[in-house]
């Protein structure tokens, strides 16, 4: 394999790779290093490479030319070389952020406004910066070019799944008044399991057993929560309880679910082409999936007219369906679902829609990201029905916050409501016998 051009800059025993370079903040002349980086990158842009010389030679010449007259240490030169290597062979200033498995989200709001999510907390990364808006746009283009997407003034917005599974969203002027904005939700290489949720305090063992029982007995379940609360991760964990003998069809805007069963069909939506045609929506795929003899239909996120088709499927023998939607509580989730069903354009009375929902949905689970960055299942409810236009829910499990510790961590406890459950008899009738110690 050919070496990158930076590997040709080795300074024998004194040279060091990026992992050995001191923290950026340790440099005494950070401003100078930033200026040199910007100068070198601009020189590379302004001066086209000669076809008769290699890229490595061309870049070395530009770096040497830009560093003439500066008294830099070996470590600082190595740092500059790595930055330029990231520009040529990586994704510019965010290359190291993309490679860091502990970072779950990258948010570029401007040339010097780069934020990351680390351990559930969002923080600004002052060690990373872009030269200008064009630099950000070039980085976006490099990220999406391998998947056949583009972004420019005629198509100033892109939402895509990168080759490693990460989710990218970018928006540039004229739609963005603050300049180009880039958001990357990184793909987790290791799947979270129910053990991780228990270890992190996201749920209790009782809750885990109850959710497993609901999935195995083919209850229809909705997972709700805010942005970044962990809805898709929870959906993935719940899906692991489905048996290998079932035919599962997953439907998503951008494929994030990773089911390990043998018989899984993954469907993904498609946007419009450059002529403005060819779009395939979630609703199209839900309707089509009903003709594919599914045992389970899992929709990554319901956000529009497809809600009606999903409820219809759940009401016509396709049990065990699961989906997510954005909402701050189970009651908000059902209110939003009702609104989405009304948007479907079917001339159906509101009473009939509510009967659909009552008969289709068994369990609503709310997961939240708390102020300390930790994720918890804050509510598990069964749908009881409607009474005088009011959605009736029976909360089975809940997390009650009692305060904030001196360290800024949320303090609270999980509680269990042992009231008579409408769903419990159904669970027993389907062979679930390991919940007696919880509910009896």
pLDDT of residue 26: 41
Could you say which DSSP state residue 48 is in?
Answer: P
pLDDT of residue 348: 82
pLDDT of residue 44: 62
Q: State the angle between helix axes of 422-429 and 205-216 in degrees (0 to 180), rounded to the nearest 10.
A: 60
Buried b (16+ CB within 10 A) or exposed e, 215-247: bbbbbbbbbbbeeebbbbbbbbbbbbebeeeee
pLDDT of residue 39: 67
CATH code at position 118: 3.30.450.370
Tell whether 83 and 99 lie within a shared domain: no
The last residue of a domain, from among 38, 58, 89: 89
Record the pTM. Answer: 0.76
The last residue of a domain, from among 63, 89, 115: 89
Tell whether 250 and 234 lie within a shared domain: yes
End-to-end CA distance of the chain: 65
Low-confidence residues in the chain, pLDDT < 70: 1-72, 74, 77, 189-191, 273-276
The last residue of a domain, from among 189, 209, 227: 189
Tell whether 263 and 380 lie within a shared domain: yes
pLDDT of residue 127: 83
pLDDT of residue 218: 94
Nearest to 40 by CA among 114, 110, 135, 133: 135
Tell whether 295 and 396 lie within a shared domain: yes
Tell whether 74 and 111 lie within a shared domain: no
Nearest to 136 by CA among 168, 163, 103, 104: 168
pLDDT of residue 51: 53
Tell whether 166 and 269 lie within a shared domain: no
Domain count, the chain: 3
pLDDT of residue 6: 33
Tell whether 291 and 168 lie within a shared domain: no
What is the DSSP annotation of 241-299? TS-TTS-EEEEESS------SSSEEEEE-B---TTS---B-HHHHHHHHTTS--SEEEE
Tell whether 309 and 405 lie within a shared domain: yes
Tell whether 176 and 242 lie within a shared domain: no
pLDDT of residue 165: 80
Tell whether 163 and 218 lie within a shared domain: no
Tell whether 302 and 409 lie within a shared domain: yes
Tell whether 116 and 14 lie within a shared domain: no
For residue 226, give its domain range.
194-439
Tokens found for residue 421: 């459950």
CATH code at position 327: 3.40.50.300
CA distance 187 to 104: 8
CA distance 211 to 279: 35
Taking CA atoms, 101 is separated from 20, 64, 139, 162, in Å, by: 18, 33, 20, 16
């Amino acid at each position: 394999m050919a070496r990158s051009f930076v590997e040709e800059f080795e300074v024998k025993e004194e040279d060091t790779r990026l992992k050995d370079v001191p923290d950026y903040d340790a440099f005494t002349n950070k401003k100078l290093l930033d200026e040199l980086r910007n100068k070198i990158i601009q020189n590379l842009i302004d001066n086209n490479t000669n076809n008769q010389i290699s890229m490595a030679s061309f870049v070395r010449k530009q770096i040497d030319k830009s560093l003439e007259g500066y008294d830099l240490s070996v470590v600082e030169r190595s740092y500059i070389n790595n930055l330029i290597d990231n520009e040529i062979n990586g994704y510019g200033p965010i290359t190291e952020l993309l490679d860091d498995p502990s970072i779950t989200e990258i948010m570029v709001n401007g040339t010097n406004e780069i934020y990351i999510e680390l351990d559930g907390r969002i923080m600004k990364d002052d060690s990373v910066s872009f030269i200008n808006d064009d630099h950000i746009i070039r980085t976006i283009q490099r990220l999406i070019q391998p998947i056949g997407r583009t972004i420019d003034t005629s198509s100033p917005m892109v939402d895509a799944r990168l080759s490693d599974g990460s989710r990218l969203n970018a928006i540039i002027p004229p739609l963005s008044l603050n300049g180009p904005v880039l958001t990357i939700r990184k793909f987790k290489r290791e799947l979270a399991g129910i053990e991780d949720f228990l270890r992190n305090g996201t749920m209790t063992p009782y809750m885990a057993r109850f959710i497993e029982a609901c999935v195995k007995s083919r209850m229809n379940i909705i997972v709700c929560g805010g942005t970044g609360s962990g809805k898709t991760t929870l959906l993935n964990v719940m899906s692991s309880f489905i048996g290998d003998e079932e035919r599962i069809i997953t439907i998503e805007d951008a494929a994030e679910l990773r089911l390990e069963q043998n018989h899984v069909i993954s469907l993904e939506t498609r946007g419009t082409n450059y002529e403005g045609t060819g779009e395939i929506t979630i609703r199209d795929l839900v309707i089509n999936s009903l003709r594919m003899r599914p045992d389970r239909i899992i929709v990554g996120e319901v956000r529009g007219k497809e809600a009606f088709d999903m409820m219809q499927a759940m009401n016509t023998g396709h049990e065990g369906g699961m989906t997510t939607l954005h909402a701050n509580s189970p009651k908000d989730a059902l209110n939003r679902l009702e609104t989405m069903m009304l948007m479907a354009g079917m001339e159906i009375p509101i009473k009939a829609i509510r009967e659909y929902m009552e008969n289709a949905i068994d369990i609503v689970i709310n997961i939240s990201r708390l102020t300390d960055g930790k994720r918890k299942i804050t509510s598990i409810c069964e749908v009881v029905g409607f009474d005088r236009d009011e959605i009736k829910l029976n909360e089975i499990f809940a997390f009650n916050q009692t305060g904030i510790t001196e360290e800024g961590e949320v303090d609270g406890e999980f509680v269990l409501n042992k009231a008579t459950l409408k769903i419990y008899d159904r669970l027993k009738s389907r062979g679930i016998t390991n919940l007696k110690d919880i509910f009896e």
